A and B are shown apart, each in its own frame.
Chain A
Amino acid sequence: MKKLLHPKAAKSSRASNTPLLLIALPGIIYLLINNYAPMLGIFLAFKDYSLIKGPFGSDWCGFQNFEFLFKTKDAFIMTRNTILYNLAFIIIGTAVAIFVAILMCELGERKRVKFYQAAMLLPNLLSWVVIGFIAYAFLNADTGFINNSFLAWLGLDPVSWYSEPGAWPAILIIVNLWKNIGYQSIIFMASISGIDKSLYEAAAMDGAGKLRQIRAITLPLLKPTVIMLTLMSIGRIFYSDFGLFYQVPQNSGALFATTQTIDTYVYRGLMELNDVGMSAAAGLYQSIVGFILVLIANKIVRKVDADNALF
Chain B
Amino acid sequence: MLQSKAFDRFASIFLGCLVVITLLPIVLIVISSFTAEDALIQNGYSFWPQEWSLDAYYYMVKQGAVILRSYGVSIFVTVVGTLCSVLITTMLAYPMSRKSFKYRNVLSFFVFFTMLFNGGIVPAYIMWTQIFHIKNTIFALLIPNYLVNAFNVILVKNYYSNNVPDALLEAAQIDGASEMTIFRRIMLPLAVPAIATISLFTGLCYWNDWTNGLYYISNEKLYSIQMLLMNIMNNIQALRANSTASLLGTGAVDLPGTAIRMAMAVIGILPILLVYPFVQKHLVRGVVVGAVKG
Interface presence of B11 (CB below 8 A)? yes
Residues facing B in A122-175 (CB within 8 A) are: 122-123, 125-130, 132-134, 136-138, 140, 142-145, 147-149
Residues facing A in B187-245 (CB within 8 A) are: 204, 207-211, 214-215, 226, 229-230, 233
Interface residues of A, CB < 8 Å — how many? 95
Interface residues of B, CB < 8 Å — how many? 98
Q: Across the interface, which residues of B come within 8 angstroms of A41, CB to CB?
A: 119, 122-124, 126-127
Is the CB–CB distance between A134 and B44 below 8 Å? no
Interface presence of A100 (CB below 8 A)? yes
Q: Across the interface, which residues of A come within 8 angstroms of B89, CB to CB?
A: 27
Question: Contacts A16-B179, A187-B291 given: A128-B284 contact, CB under 8 Å?
Answer: no
Q: Across the interface, which residues of A come within 8 angstroms of B107, CB to CB?
A: 24, 28
Is the CB–CB distance between A17 and B18 below 8 Å? no
Is the CB–CB distance between B46 and A211 below 8 Å? no
Interface presence of B75 (CB below 8 A)? no
CA distance A211 to B92 in the complex (A): 48
The B interface, classified by DSSP as helix, strand, loop or mixed, is helix
Is the CB–CB distance between A291 and B116 below 8 Å? yes
Question: Contacts A41-B124, A42-B119, A148-B43 given: A128-B210 contact, CB under 8 Å?
Answer: yes
Q: Which residue of A lies closest to B21 (CB)?
A: A178
In the assembled complex, the CB of B80 is this many whole angstroms from the nearest CB of chain A, namely: 15
Q: Across the interface, which residues of A come within 8 angstroms of B92, CB to CB?
A: 24, 26-28
Is the CB–CB distance between A210 and B7 below 8 Å? yes
CA distance A36 to B63 in the complex (A): 43
In the assembled complex, the CB of A109 is this many whole angstroms from the nearest CB of chain B, namely: 13
The stretch from B22-30, B50-58, B246-254 touching chain A is: B22-30
Q: Across the interface, which residues of A come within 8 angstroms of B265, CB to CB?
A: 130, 133-134, 137
Is the CB–CB distance between B288 and A144 below 8 Å? no
Interface presence of A10 (CB below 8 A)? no
Is the CB–CB distance between A34 and B96 below 8 Å? no
Is the CB–CB distance between A186 and B22 below 8 Å? no
Question: Contacts A31-B114, A291-B116 given: A38-B210 contact, CB under 8 Å?
Answer: no
CA distance A247 to B121 in the complex (A): 18
Q: Which residue of B lies closest to A13 (CB)?
A: B102
Interface presence of A1 (CB below 8 A)? no
In the assembled complex, the CB of A136 is this many whole angstroms from the nearest CB of chain B, namely: 7
Is the CB–CB distance between B44 and A145 below 8 Å? yes
In the assembled complex, the CB of B62 is this many whole angstroms from the nearest CB of chain A, namely: 21
Q: Across the interface, which residues of A come within 8 angstroms of B210, CB to CB?
A: 127-129, 243, 247
In the assembled complex, the CB of B168 is this many whole angstroms from the nearest CB of chain A, namely: 15
Interface presence of B163 (CB below 8 A)? no
CA distance A138 to B277 in the complex (A): 27
Question: Contacts A121-B283, A125-B204, A266-B120 given: A26-B88 contact, CB under 8 Å?
Answer: yes
The stretch from A67-75, A86-94, A278-286 touching chain B is: A278-286
Interface presence of B139 (CB below 8 A)? no
CA distance A129 to B210 in the complex (A): 8
Is the CB–CB distance between B119 and A38 below 8 Å? yes
Interface presence of B262 (CB below 8 A)? yes
A-B residue pairs, 8 tightest by C-beta: A41-B123, A148-B44, A27-B92, A283-B120, A38-B119, A127-B208, A19-B179, A133-B265
* 18 A-B contacts (beta carbon < 8 Å): A24-B91, A24-B95, A37-B124, A39-B117, A40-B119, A103-B15, A118-B277, A120-B19, A126-B272, A129-B229, A132-B233, A136-B261, A138-B45, A147-B44, A148-B44, A149-B47, A266-B122, A310-B116
Besides A34-B147, A283-B121, 9 more A-B contacts (Cβ < 8 Å) are A27-B153, A39-B123, A118-B284, A127-B208, A143-B258, A148-B43, A182-B22, A270-B122, A280-B122
